[in-house]
A and B are shown apart, each in its own frame.
Chain A
Amino acid sequence: MSLSDSRVISLLNGSFVPVYLANEDYRDKGAAPPEEKKDLRRIHAEGHAAGKSVGTVHAYVLDSEGKLLDSMHVAEAAKANGMLGMLQRTVEKLGVKPGAPVAAAKPQSQPAAKPGELTVHVVARYLEKKGNEYVLIEDAGGNWSAFPGESWVSLSPAQQAKLVPAGPADLGAKWTPDPEVVKTLLGHFYPPTENNDLSKNRFEAVTLQGSVLTKGEGRTVGVLSGSFRMGHPFYHKEDGRVVEAALGGRVIWETATGKVSLLRLVTQDGIYRSPQGQGLPFGVAARSIP
């Protein structure tokens, strides 16, 4: 995990202009501007012409005019020593004088919130068993799947109102949140895979029920419980794999309007199961922001 290595971070911040891109955006129908796509194609062409390593998952070093200097397949660049070697060679060759970062560091996962919408942050990750507990994976040898996958989900005022009872509800009263709104959230409840096309999810069962816990001062607090089972291929081709988990959560809303001010929904005993019945434990936590 070279990009988490403090020596690599220091070199990148102090002597380079770092940038990363998603290949999907640079394909023919991708969202990147034509000039961007042209630049990437040029970099690839320069690499081919110079006999350097070229590919989609790569680390490239360009000079200050954008000409390709060096490259490395991600399998090598992921190793801190390999990456450091390439970066240090460049610094020495060009005589780069270290300085402050030229771009500000900032969170790379940010919501696109609109007024009135409820922004929900979803974190999904594989877990490992230690004793009787399922805990974060401490050391997966740099494997990407040990890292969490994040999603941002926006719920409109109408969707929020469908999550809670229509009108005032008595203490202990039970209700069923709108299944379609629930699926909007649960569609993101899968561990890191190489398929993130939500249209390939297949809901097989979804049950979620609410129960009013407390009321007062114009707001109502409810608890949520249920379970779900959803087909989710690891790659883009159907493979029979499913995610399944029990669910628990809490929701707070304005009693009069149904506007949700807080939403929490987490998995319990989540497993990503193969058609043979074996699988991996995972956990998902969704929380509204702020």
Chain B
Amino acid sequence: MFRCSGVQVFRRCSGERKVTCRAIFIAAGLALAAGAAVAREPENWVDQRVHQWQPTEKEKRWETIGWAKDIRDAIRLAREHRRPVFLFTLDGRMGVGRC
């Protein structure tokens, strides 16, 4: 299977631009024909695909973390609760997996 960043990253947004993603295109070698229009009755398979391709519970596990709104909000909460802040900075939108 392809590797895009070349490193184990947090969830999906690494910003690891140093490592190319060429492997993704070299390794696969799967040539699928995609030109023909879908002619099947869509009621079942469309709904099935919609269901199957939703983000899974495992993929959403990181959302069980209670995230502060921004740095200032985090520091305000940290002072209030006498806790350290964990700050993760990344390129892209982690919330939607578009990096």
Contacts and interface: CB of A to CB of B under 8 A. Distances in A.
A248 interface: yes
Interface string B30-43: 11111111111111
A43 B87 contact: yes
A75 B9 contact: yes
Interface stretch (A54-62, A164-172, A179-187): A54-62
Name the interface size band of chain A.
35 or more
The SS class assigned to the A binding surface is mixed
Given A24-B91, A148-B53, A102 B83 contact: yes
Interface in A1-52: 1-4, 6, 9, 12-13, 15-24, 26, 32, 35-36, 39-40, 43
A112 interface: no
Ranked 4 nearest A-B pairs via Cβ: A144-B12, A101-B66, A147-B12, A108-B95
A39 B54 contact: no
A96 B9 CA distance: 27
Interface of A: 1-4, 6, 9, 12-13, 15-24, 26, 32, 35-36, 39-40, 43, 56-66, 69, 74-75, 77-79, 87, 90-91, 94, 96, 99, 101-110, 123, 125-126, 128-129, 136-137, 139-152, 192, 194, 196, 207, 209, 223-227, 229, 234-235, 241, 244-250, 264-266, 268-271, 273-274, 276-281, 283-287
Contacts, number: 384
A35 B66 contact: no
Contact of A9 (B35, B38, B46, B62): B62
Given A21-B71, A196-B98, A223-B41, A248 B46 contact: yes
Contacts of B66: 13, 18, 101-105
What's the interface size class on B, roughly? 35 or more
Most chain B beta-carbon neighbours within 10 Å: one of A19, A104, A106: A19
Interface string B1-16: 1111101111111111
B85 A149 contact: no
A194 B17 contact: yes
A59 B87 contact: yes
B98 A150 contact: yes
Contacts of B11: 1, 3-4, 144, 147
Contacts of B60: 107
B89 A150 contact: no
A184 B95 CA distance: 21
Contacts of B64: 9, 13, 105
Interface in B37-94: 37-43, 45-47, 49-50, 52-56, 58-75, 77-94
Contacts of B97: 109, 144, 147-150, 192
